[in-house]
Amino acid sequence: MSVRSLERAFELLEHLADAGGEMALTELTERSGLPMPTVYRMMQTLVGAGYVRQEPSRRYALGPRLIRLGDSASRLLGTWARPVLAALVDDLGETANMAVLEGDAVVYVAQVPSRHSMRMFTEVGRRVLPHCTGVGKALLAQLPDETAREIVGRTGMPARTPRTFTDPDALMAELALIRERGYALDDEEQELGVRCVAVPLPHSPARAALSVSGPSGRMTPETVERVIPVMRDAAAAFAVELAARD
């Protein structure tokens, strides 16, 4: 049997996270649809417990006590993902990653490297901007356009390479295409000479994405077409596994 007040408290924390970690009481009230007195009481309770802090401006922000929970959850998710990533490396021969969206940043929580000797820019624990990576765009595509725009508006869209998306409207069109076709492609947008395919975890309790990265010479368009169904199957199976653990 669910406890509705507890569900609402977690929903408020998720609204804060989706907004980049900070919101005013009026914004939380509008986003949640709850009465303002209810939101106020819940937020004050979370402030008292250390899961939320209240800034001098009176805005609410995610609190430091969440850091330990988030770190532990990310490590556990990465541990669960490693067999899935290892199977992808065995099947496809390229480096496989898992990443999650934490606030406005993409965080890599697991990686199994390719047997080929090539240094990739990704590594476990690294935080990157979402607009220029395959996993980042796969994660943004899971959000409403308004939320995705807010994120890239806060982070900016710096060009990592000449191929990086730097225009929000162009990125929104790309996210619509990703939702339609079910995968994201980083075509040398983060690092020249590297191509990446990423897929979201469908209907998963965790907003996460899997990716396979390799040099463009090996990750040709023909190879990408072969990679996509393998990754979709792996993501769907892992999402079912995560749901069973929930």
Residue for token pair 């417990």: 49
Instruction: Please report, for residues 19, 78, 183, the alpha-carbon distance to residue 209 in angstroms, rounded to integers and kept in the order given.
Output: 20, 12, 10
User: What is the Cβ-side half-sphere exposure of residue 69, based on CA atoms within 13 angstroms?
Assistant: 8
Reported in sequence order, the residue ranges of the chain that DSSP labels E, i.e. its strands, are 22-23, 52-54, 60-62, 95-102, 105-112, 127-128, 184-187, 194-200, 208-215
Higher pLDDT, 51 or 153: 153
What are the residues facing 209 on neighbouring strands?
A: 99, 200
Its pTM stands at 0.73
Residue 28 CA to residue 46 CA, distance in Å, equals 14
Phi, psi of 109 (to 5 degrees): -105, -15
Q: What is the pLDDT of residues 159-208, one digit of tens each?
A: 999 999 999 999 999 999 999 999 999 999 999 999 999 999 887 666 78
Residue 213 CA to residue 71 CA, distance in Å, equals 25
Per-residue confidence (pLDDT) for residue 192, from 0 to 100: 92
